[in-house]
Amino acid sequence: MAGRISVREVDRLLKENLQLAPAIDCPLNKSAGRVLRENLVADRDLPPYDRIMMDGYAVRGAELNQGAIRIKGQLVAGEPHRELDGEPGSALEVMTGAILPKGVDTVIPYEDTVRDGDRLTLCAKARTGQFVHRKGSDFRAGAILVQMGSIMRAVEAGIAASCGYATVQVSQRPRITVFGTGDELVEVGARPAPHQVRRSNPSAIEHALAMASFHAGRIGHLLDNPQKEEERLRDTMNNSDLVIISGAVSKGKLDWIPAALDRSGTRIFHGVAQKPGGPMGLWITDSGCRVFALPGNPVSTLAGTFRYVIPYLRLQQGSRERAARKVILSQDFTTNGNLTFFLPVVLDPAGRALPRPVNNSGDFARLAGTDGFAELPEGSTQWPAGSAVDFYPWKT
Amino acid sequence: MAGRISVREVDRLLKENLQLAPAIDCPLNKSAGRVLRENLVADRDLPPYDRIMMDGYAVRGAELNQGAIRIKGQLVAGEPHRELDGEPGSALEVMTGAILPKGVDTVIPYEDTVRDGDRLTLCAKARTGQFVHRKGSDFRAGAILVQMGSIMRAVEAGIAASCGYATVQVSQRPRITVFGTGDELVEVGARPAPHQVRRSNPSAIEHALAMASFHAGRIGHLLDNPQKEEERLRDTMNNSDLVIISGAVSKGKLDWIPAALDRSGTRIFHGVAQKPGGPMGLWITDSGCRVFALPGNPVSTLAGTFRYVIPYLRLQQGSRERAARKVILSQDFTTNGNLTFFLPVVLDPAGRALPRPVNNSGDFARLAGTDGFAELPEGSTQWPAGSAVDFYPWKT
């Protein structure tokens, strides 16, 4: 395909043509996997009070070595602030999480004490101030604890809850439609004739989206007859923010998708110097819908989805996470060097990437058991064991 | 805590006390993230026919160098099997995905040809058999393509669809309840008094579960008064497969959970030689409910959830994926060596783990921006840069 652009240029064009999703309010308990669109700010000091860190006895550190200590009562978490009276050598029994009483500064855990009635004896060394988590010692009120652009996972949810965010501002998810193409394809539940195959790419894309916390609201199929199908495609694009089409995107006689998309909007690129999946393209319709057209070979569809579509969606949501991480190749590998090569790999227990190339871009079943693919950029042909390369996991 | 067991022993006990979830049928399009409980088997050869891999012309390889070729017609994907007539020097125009006509064995892509009317001239070298994906060359009918115990993601869904699995057998998900504990805790939406804090651990656990494709069906809170709460806890356990309790699990006066659980079932262990989260335990009630009791400090709760609860759930679902992967420490780190230490880390762009310890197990806000934790087993105190250690990501 003449005029193919580089993978790097695709990355640039995706960023350049990004339309950031609107921000919406979302109940905290529905926010898992969503991209945060506000900073999460501490509304109080953290911890909000001098917090007791062990069950035991609160004492005055200065009196630790001045003989017997007398227990004056008990304080539990959830009780309001109390004060230890002024009598020297006094202690209060305290519980983890409680506010440190006024007049004391040190906590002695049960296991470091012997108690006899209300008399307490220390049986281990103690340090003034120990086991007190000081008010504001982690963060001050007003501090930004979680940055806008983070994905709401367990840590972020815990912080949001502790700071009183019963709702959080997150990105609205795009309305996504997935289309397969081709007259030779039949339903998953059908029994194919000898010359037919079942529709599998839409299922693969749907699962890829779901695992990345996106939802394909509509799954459809386009036949090879553009006269009948182009209007249906256009209607769908008018009612979607993102359309992913698998197949009919190359330069064959029946590959009607590129011309149809050209009539509905602007071609951002078509043809990438990569293998597999070179004939892919991106269009933006006049209605603002982003359309990824991916070649229909299953390995090509998967490569395009994981290398571009999901990273694009994450960017569109405002995420600041890297799409790829580095892995080390555990075996030599050779490419032709003219194209960026997406190499399926298995990660071994040490985390190194073992090449597991497929026979060709139709050989999707060989991807089972792989962990994702490594990206071997154009320009180099030799990839010796030990090379650090970008890795895109199937497990996003 | 006396009698603490090792992290390794916990792993053993979790496996020993595993109750595999029942298998159920699930529509393919609802199966994302679920654990497969059957092998996915090829119902036909893959590919199911000699499949054309490029748009172009199908010819006889033996005639490639015997002068002009005449185009006899067109065949598209989705058409039944055809035959090229016996006349030498003939070709059929063919499309990617179509079945190779009888009588030909080689595909010449458009770009390697010049066409003049029905006369075809080759302008590049061709190899007999090229661009034909031979029937059964990837896999034979009856081959196991995806192993039982795999997680249904994009690759697995594509394979399932292509083999006609409109439903797949997966594990039934457990009924999960999450409880926070403690009288000092108020609702997320509430304005806490100076001695109170908001309930954050249940939100963190809920998000951790959701990101791992599990669902906390019920989120509750237990007060510090066991007389009132024990029966409620028991009722919940009778109607749950898994209960996660955060707090009131240690040996303090208000830590009523262990004794209550002892009354409802069997203690598998209580106390682990680890930091943070040492006072955690596992019980199995007489009704078969697994109960993880985690210390209430937020960092301890997170460590217990990601190190044990989610790996246990994955095992219980029949997953064969490793819970941890190896990362390389990028800085020296020292532990006391008596306990296994869970060290929060940030992964740098090269994939190495930079230690980012918290102040103490209440300092959860410092976990924002970390990627997970590294496990530094007991027995060693020195962890030099370059050490390969197990890594548990927040992004499961």
Write the residue in A158, A194, A306 that is nearest to B203 by C-beta: A158
Identify the closest residue of chain A to B207 by CA–CA distance: A154
**Of the ranges A331-340, B42-51, B66-75, which one carries the lowest mean pLDDT score?**
B66-75
**Domains in chain B: how many in total?**
4
pTM for the whole structure: 0.95
DSSP string, B106-167: EEEEGGGEEEETTEEEE-S---TTTTEE-TTSSB-TT-EEE-TT-B--HHHHHHHHHTT-SE
Q: Are B3 and B271 in contact (CB under 8 A)?
A: yes
- How many Å lie between the alpha carbon of A269 and the closest alpha carbon of chain B? 20
B113/B230 same-domain check: no
**Of the ranges A32-36, A166-170, A249-253, B105-109, which one carries the lowest mean pLDDT score?**
A249-253
Buried b (16+ CB within 10 A) or exposed e, A320-341: eeebbbbbbbbeebebeeebbb
Q: Which residues pair with residue A178 across a beta bridge?
A: A219, A244
Among A316, A340, A359, which residue terminates a domain?
Answer: A316
Identify the closest residue of chain B to A324 by CA–CA distance: B349
Write the residue in B51, B184, B188 that is nearest to A78 by C-beta: B184
Write the residue in A95, A153, A219 that is nearest to B395 by C-beta: A153
Its domain, for residue B260, covers: 7-21+173-316
pLDDT band of A81, cuts 50, 70, 90: confident
Nearest of A22, A48, A45 to residue A35 by alpha carbon = A22
Identify the closest residue of chain B to A28 by CA–CA distance: B203
Q: CA angle, B320 as apex, A385 and A33 as ends, to 5°?
A: 85
- How many Å lie between the alpha carbon of B86 and the closest alpha carbon of chain A? 22
* CATH classification of the domain holding B167: 3.90.105.10
- State the distance between the two ends of chain A, measured CA to CA, in whole angstroms: 30
Is residue B77 domain-resident?
yes
Q: What is the largest CA-CA distance in chain A?
A: 96
Q: Are A199 and A221 in contact (CB under 8 A)?
A: yes
pLDDT score recorded for residue B2: 58
Percent of chain A at pLDDT > 90 equals: 81
**Of the ranges A1-5, A128-132, A214-218, B169-173, which one carries the lowest mean pLDDT score?**
A1-5
pLDDT score recorded for residue B169: 98
Could B205 and A326 be called an inter-chain contact, meaning their C-beta atoms sit closer than 8 Å?
no
| Helix pair angle (A201-211, B154-162), 10° resolution | 160
Q: Residue A150 corresponds to which tokens in the numbers above?
A: 């983070």
* CATH classification of the domain holding A94: 2.170.190.11
Contacts of B199 in chain A (CB under 8 A): 161
Of the residues B162, B186, B251, the best mutation for testing chain A's interface (the one with the most A CB atoms within 10 Å of its CB) is B162
Report the DSSP pairing between strands A290-294 and A242-246.
parallel
- How many Å lie between the alpha carbon of A26 and the closest alpha carbon of chain B? 14
A28/A167 same-domain check: yes
Could A198 and B156 be called an inter-chain contact, meaning their C-beta atoms sit closer than 8 Å?
no
- How many Å lie between the alpha carbon of B286 and the closest alpha carbon of chain A? 30
Q: Are A109 and A54 in contact (CB under 8 A)?
A: yes
Could A138 and B96 be called an inter-chain contact, meaning their C-beta atoms sit closer than 8 Å?
no
Is residue A242 domain-resident?
yes
pLDDT score recorded for residue B251: 78
Could A362 and B138 be called an inter-chain contact, meaning their C-beta atoms sit closer than 8 Å?
yes
Q: Are B174 and B313 in contact (CB under 8 A)?
A: yes
pLDDT score recorded for residue A123: 85
A308/A190 same-domain check: yes
Q: Assess: ipTM above 0.90.
A: yes
pLDDT tens digits, B190-236: 999 998 999 999 999 999 999 999 999 999 999 999 998 999 999 99
Q: Are B376 and B388 in contact (CB under 8 A)?
A: no
DSSP assignment, residue A66?
A: S
Return d(Cα B347, Cα B331) in angstroms, integer.
12
Contacts of B35 in chain A (CB under 8 A): none
Of the residues A184, A225, A305, A342, the best mutation for testing chain B's interface (the one with the most B CB atoms within 10 Å of its CB) is A184
Nearest of A370, A387, A369, A374 to residue A325 by alpha carbon = A374
- How many Å lie between the alpha carbon of A286 and the closest alpha carbon of chain B? 30
A268/A365 same-domain check: no
B190/B246 same-domain check: yes
pLDDT band of B80, cuts 50, 70, 90: confident
A332/A359 same-domain check: yes
Could B369 and A147 be called an inter-chain contact, meaning their C-beta atoms sit closer than 8 Å?
yes
Q: Residue A26 corresponds to which tokens in the numbers above?
A: 């979302």
Is residue A2 domain-resident?
no
Among B268, B289, B316, which residue terminates a domain?
Answer: B316
**Of the ranges A208-212, A282-286, B108-112, B142-146, which one carries the lowest mean pLDDT score?**
B108-112
Position A28 pLDDT exceeds 90:
yes
A83/A155 same-domain check: no
Return d(Cα A290, Cα A266) in angstroms, integer.
10
B84/B36 same-domain check: no
Is residue B2 domain-resident?
no
Could A138 and B203 be called an inter-chain contact, meaning their C-beta atoms sit closer than 8 Å?
no
Could A203 and B95 be called an inter-chain contact, meaning their C-beta atoms sit closer than 8 Å?
no
pLDDT band of A325, cuts 50, 70, 90: very high
A121/A150 same-domain check: no
**Residues A190, A191, A196, A200: what is their CA dihedral angle, to the nearest 10 degrees?**
50
* CATH classification of the domain holding B199: 3.40.980.10
Q: How many CB pairs under 8 A join A and B?
A: 340
A281/A332 same-domain check: no
Write the residue in B194, B207, B350 that is nearest to A81 by C-beta: B194
Identify the closest residue of chain B to A190 by CA–CA distance: B164
Could A204 and B157 be called an inter-chain contact, meaning their C-beta atoms sit closer than 8 Å?
yes
pLDDT tens digits, B359-374: 888 899 999 999 999 9
Is residue A1 domain-resident?
no
Position A57 pLDDT exceeds 60:
yes
Average model confidence (pLDDT) for chain A?
A: 94
Among A277, A297, A316, which residue terminates a domain?
Answer: A316
A167/A30 same-domain check: yes
| Single-letter code of the amino acid located at A307 | R
Contacts of B77 in chain A (CB under 8 A): 182-184, 224, 254
Could A138 and B201 be called an inter-chain contact, meaning their C-beta atoms sit closer than 8 Å?
no
Write the residue in B133, B137, B326 that is nearest to A350 by C-beta: B326
Is residue B236 domain-resident?
yes
* CATH classification of the domain holding A347: 2.40.340.10
A107/A92 same-domain check: yes
Is residue B209 domain-resident?
yes
Is residue B1 domain-resident?
no
pLDDT score recorded for residue A2: 58
Q: Are A205 and A216 in contact (CB under 8 A)?
A: yes
